Amino acid sequence: MHRSYQPLKPVTNRYLQQRWDQSDYDNHRSKVSSALPAVDTRGSRTPAHIQLKLKKLQLQDERLSTIDRDNRLLASRLAHIVCSKGLVDHRNQYHLRSLNADKRREELLLVGHQNQAIYQRIMSRQSEYRHQLWLDDWERAERRRDDISQYPRGLVDKQLPVKTSSGTNTTRSNARSFETLTWMNETLSSDVVDVSSGRDTRTIWEQLTSVRKPNQNL
């Protein structure tokens, strides 16, 4: 550890110089820890009115006294109700009545009949759009696409799933790409291809393709 020590001045022995510097530093830290302050750094005393907060105590006492008085009044009223007999029946026998209930009912029935009439007119109306022409045009466009395409359309959806070595199902194109990537990783990790020699990507790719080709017959 003394070999990595860098003294401030050139010395003959780094080990001794490190020991001496560490000893001086320890003595300095011990003096600093045992030194006494020459200036009184204690904080000033907090005034009593800030510590006690008499106004807050007064407001709290007033609030508690108000709550106590209200509770005593409520308790006296409850005791008076319990001791006395009930003289007034507070049950409400009033039934809700509306002055325009019949009018609103007639308006609701009228709106319902109007909506039903509108619905019947909409359902009995023939469509102005010629859907059969649109369908025939779409089928004609599909046939033209099939005629001008080089390969049969819809092969992606018809590809059979292929089970890989990990047990998952994938299509043939995905399986072929997965096998190619696996072969490249194995070749790069082996000692056959030297990628640290400073050659460009084209040279490394030629070396990869000349080593071994993956099985493309999936």
pLDDT tens figures, 45-57: 888 888 888 899 9
Tokens matching residue 36: 């006494």
CB distance 207 to 193 below 8 Å: yes
CA 204 – CA 212 distance, rounded (Å): 13
pLDDT tens figures, 159-194: 555 555 555 555 555 555 556 656 656 655 554 444
pLDDT band at 22 (very low <50, low <70, confident <90, very high): very high
Confidence (pLDDT) at 50: 81
CA 15 – CA 32 distance, rounded (Å): 26
pLDDT tens figures, 101-155: 899 999 999 999 999 999 999 999 887 888 888 899 999 998 898 888 877 776 5
Q: Give the 3-state secondary structure of residue 163.
A: strand
CB distance 14 to 5 below 8 Å: yes
188: Cβ–Cβ under 8 A, 6 or more apart, which residues? 195, 208
User: If you average pLDDT over every residue of the chain, what do you get?
Assistant: 77
CB distance 36 to 22 below 8 Å: no
CA 92 – CA 17 distance, rounded (Å): 103
CA 171 – CA 80 distance, rounded (Å): 88
pLDDT band at 66 (very low <50, low <70, confident <90, very high): very high
pTM of the model: 0.23
More confident residue, 170 or 99: 99
pLDDT band at 3 (very low <50, low <70, confident <90, very high): confident
CA 4 – CA 205 distance, rounded (Å): 45
pLDDT at 93 over 50: yes
Q: Where are the domains of the chain?
A: 2-26, 160-211
pLDDT band at 212 (very low <50, low <70, confident <90, very high): very low
